[in-house]
A and B are shown apart, each in its own frame.
Chain A
């Protein structure tokens, strides 16, 4: 699986935007970029995913570099509830002959602290 690199931790103030970076220089053309988060004492939770174009949903935005070697998860207005570990994951699609049949390979992620 292609590797991702994320900062160990980041801090933000409530109601301010947060930009969480992820480097994935060895990404292949068919890898999707997925973001999940894990709130304290909970299971991982899907945030957003994309392939080439920037994506928006009700939780966040995903900005993908033109060369796809990096991406940024954007939380537009951080709340205390957004304090979590954020994982950037490259996912081999099952229909591209990959051996990874949809599994997610988690790294250490970025611990986001949100201050009131």
Chain B
């Protein structure tokens, strides 16, 4: 069964450093998302991406964040200058031909900012 994959599973970085989190969505999906979950808190929407552009973003997704689909398979989330409060689990999700379909989530990347 196809699945969303994410790498790395755990990333440790120093405050102020740039990180890139990688996701490989399910191959025929068209809608892509990033969410995050701070430890013990609820899952929060960050950004949605369709047709090679951002379709919606939350207040969390400020200028420090960017997303890219550099080729036909990868979907990346970049944080330019990490802060302590960026420490969280980051989940990538993808959805097939209509945004109303279910979203398929990856296993997540745990980001720890020291």
Contacts and interface: CB of A to CB of B under 8 A. Distances in A.
Given A102-B31, A102-B33, A46 B44 contact: no
Interface in B86-102: 91, 93, 95, 98-100, 102
Interface of A: 32, 34, 38, 42-46, 49, 87, 91, 93-95, 99-109
Contacts of B102: 34, 46, 49
20 contacts: A34-B102, A42-B108, A43-B91, A43-B105, A44-B35, A44-B43, A44-B93, A44-B105, A46-B102, A46-B104, A91-B100, A101-B31, A101-B56, A101-B99, A102-B48, A102-B95, A104-B43, A106-B42, A106-B45, A107-B42
A101 B55 contact: yes
A100 B108 contact: no
Contacts of A107: 42
A46 B95 CA distance: 11
Contacts, number: 67
A7 B54 CA distance: 34
A48 to B, nearest CB: 9
B85 to A, nearest CB: 19
The contact size tier of chain B is 20 to 34
Interface of chain A, main secondary structure: loop
Contacts of B100: 32, 91, 93-95, 102
Interface of B: 4, 31, 33, 35, 42-45, 48, 50, 55-56, 58, 91, 93, 95, 98-100, 102-108
A104 B95 CA distance: 12
* Residue among B44, B98, B105, B108 facing the most chain A CB atoms (10 A cut-off): B105
